[in-house]
Chain A
Amino acid sequence: ETGVTQSPTHLIKTRGQQVTLRCSSQSGHNTVSWYQQALGQGPQFIFQYYREEENGRGNFPPRFSGLQFPNYSSELNVNALELDDSALYLCASSLSTSGRAHEQFFGPGTRLTVL
């Protein structure tokens, strides 16, 4: 059984650029959640995707957007990068049944640095 994988592991961008982060969910999982973990902080919920639709969103601006594909993998896109977007971005996959989510399994994260 393959766990949650994320790519790339590290990324350096400059202010104003756009970035795409990728996540492959664990086999059998249909739900993906994204979190931002700034240095010295706990992860903060960005949004969740279920059946290719956004299924909940945290307090992040619209320049943070996502996609979920038919194979349940997912992308996080961030436009107009700001210095404060520098963080570890975590993806978590889970199985949702009858609208109820089960345990989330986390990937190792993508470290984004904005210069």
Chain B
Amino acid sequence: AQSVTQLDSHVSVSEGTPVLLRCNYSSSYSPSLFWYVQHPNKGLQLLLKYTSAATLVKGINGFEAEFKKSETSFHLTKPSAHMSDAAEYFCVVSVTGYSTLTFGKGTMLLVSP
């Protein structure tokens, strides 16, 4: 069985400051890990994915995440927040490639001017 724990339900940052959204995973097998973003009234969008290649993964809109097996973590970072980054972010694990996705509960990112 696999699961993810998103350590913060809400994260507040000021525009231009760094973003850190934390995720720990549990998996019996080598996992694939993803971060998705959900803007209000819009579908989920894939930000980035780790599928056993490079441990530092770069995604869209300046986001990146690092897979740390020893810490079972896959934290999402961005050097400088933008107002348009305000949304809900989901950490996702799969042990079957993209087939069955298990989502965390989400972290709401709030960006203030």
Contacts and interface: CB of A to CB of B under 8 A. Distances in A.
Interface of A: 3-4, 33, 35, 40-45, 48, 56, 58, 90, 92, 94, 96, 100-109
* Contact count band on B: 20 to 34
A56 B100 CA distance: 8
30 contacts: A33-B100, A33-B101, A40-B105, A40-B106, A41-B106, A42-B90, A42-B104, A42-B105, A42-B106, A43-B44, A43-B101, A44-B103, A48-B100, A58-B100, A90-B43, A90-B44, A92-B44, A94-B98, A100-B99, A101-B97, A101-B99, A103-B49, A103-B98, A104-B98, A104-B101, A105-B43, A106-B36, A106-B44, A107-B43, A108-B42
B104 to A, nearest CB: 5
B44 to A, nearest CB: 4
Nearest to B99: A101
Nearest to A41: B105
Contact of B99 (A42, A48, A108): A48
A106 B103 contact: no
Contacts of B90: 42-43
Q: Closest 7 interchain pairs by CB?
A: A42-B103, A106-B44, A106-B43, A101-B99, A101-B98, A108-B43, A43-B103
B41 A102 contact: no
Contacts of A45: 100-102
A56 B99 contact: yes
A45 B36 CA distance: 15
B107 to A, nearest CB: 10
Nearest to B104: A42
A33 B44 CA distance: 13
A108 B103 CA distance: 17
Q: Tell me which of A35, A42, A105 has the highest count of chain B C-beta atoms within 10 A of its own C-beta.
A: A42
Interface string B24-67: 00000000000010000111111001000000000000000000
B14 interface: no
A41 B106 CA distance: 7
B41 to A, nearest CB: 7
